[in-house]
Amino acid sequence: MFAPYRRWAAPRHLRRGQWVGLLFVAPAVILFAVFGVYVVVYGFLLSFARWNGFSPDWTWVGVENYIALLGGNPAVSPKVAQATVNTLVGMLVLPIVVLVLGLALALLVNSVRRLRGLIRTVYFIPFVTTGIAVYYAWRFMYQPDGAVNAVLRALGLHSLAPVDGFLGNTTTALAAVIAVQVWSNVPIAMLLFLTGLQTIPDGVIEAARVDGASTVRTIWTIIVPLLNPVTALVVVIMLREALQNYQLYLLMTNGGPVNASNTLGLQSYSFAFGSITDLGFSSALGWLLAAVAIILAIVNLRVLRSRQ
């Protein structure tokens, strides 16, 4: 009767109104042309110039900003190097911890029937509310006499409770901020895994159980491989989060103490709005970040496609 619906081709009779489609996307295109394309072009051009934000003219310097950031300028490259290391730590730790916790919680939630909805709602609250208010609650909890230290001391773990608070010293600041990031991102991974679990037919798991496979084995050899597409999606989202979320770092530590929790995104922000500004550096660093994000996205899409 009807031709099978394909993703991009609409049936022939629809072509009557080719311009209708353009009218429908026009508002989005206009919004993007002004607040998307314009700022992208502006920022890209600025990355090849030096500008302090006040003088009327830019000084064109070619790729000098990029070279300076990648090691050519002793005044900025050590800072950038430290921020790179911190960002890489986040890009490694965040996806792994969020994957493990998200999958474990999804399996646990999936195994109970009563109260499942309530548990799912409670677990999801950190993701929905994440932002300045939650960050400040964590800052308060991380204070030298805050709740986290108090819990550790109550458990007898005095040596693990830093005297100057988790955000106040260089050894724990980065880990403490990443922990908050994990806390606020585990819910979305859990929800995606729950969705994935619901698409696995009961028969598959039942068959494994009949064959005498243990729970652990069933999870590891049957459920985890079937969830591969979800895993890949979670990894993309978490890499993007680790690379791009600078507001968390800005509001929790502002990169301190002494750059211990500085990241590339925050460094780009500081070049533009911090105490010593160089807007060209800010733009160039932003575009290096964008390049990494785009490369990661392409690699991940390739991996996803090759698996299907």
Residues 57-76 within binding reach of another protein (CB under 8 A): none
Query: What is the nearest approach in angstroms of another protein to the Cβ of residue 212?
Result: 13
For position 100 contacting another protein by CB under 8 A, the verdict is no
Which one of residues 59, 111, 170, 221 is an interface residue with another protein (CB under 8 A)? 111
Q: Which stretch binds another protein (CB under 8 A): 65-73, 155-163, 236-244, 253-261?
A: 236-244
Q: Among 37-45, 55-63, 78-86, 164-172, which window interacts with another protein (CB under 8 A)?
A: 37-45
Site string for another protein, 9-28 (x = CB under 8 A): xxx-xxx-xxxxxx-xx-xx
Indicate which single residue of 100, 136, 220, 258 sits in contact with another protein (rule: CB under 8 A): 136
Minimum gap (Å) between residue 299 Cβ and another protein: 12
CB of 1 to another protein, least distance (A): 9
Give me the DSSP letters along the chain.
Answer: -PPPP-SSPPPGGGGGGHHHHHHHHHHHHHHHIIIIIHHHHHHHHHTTEE--SSSSSPEE-TTHHHHIIIII-TTTHHHHHHHHHHHHHHHHHHHHHHHHHHHHHHHHHHH--TTHHHHHHHHHHHHHH-SHHHHHHHHHHTSTTSHHHHHHHHTT-GGGS-TT-TTSSTTTHHHHHHHHHHHHHHHHHHHHHHHHHHHS-HHHHHHHHHTT--HHHHIIIIIHHHTHHHHHHHHHHHHHHHHH--HHHHHHTTT-STTTT--HHHHHHHHHHSSS--HHHHHHHHHHHHHHHHHHHHHHHHHHHHH-
In the range 143-202, which residues lie near another protein by CB under 8 A? 143, 145-147, 149-150, 183, 187, 191-192, 194-196, 199
Instruction: Candidates 85, 207, 258, 297: give the one binding another protein (CB under 8 A).
Output: 297
119 binds another protein (CB under 8 A): yes
Min dist CB 255 to another protein, Å, is 13
Among 63, 122, 157, 224, binds another protein (CB under 8 A): 122
276 binds another protein (CB under 8 A): no
User: 31 vs 81, which CB is nearer to another protein?
Assistant: 31
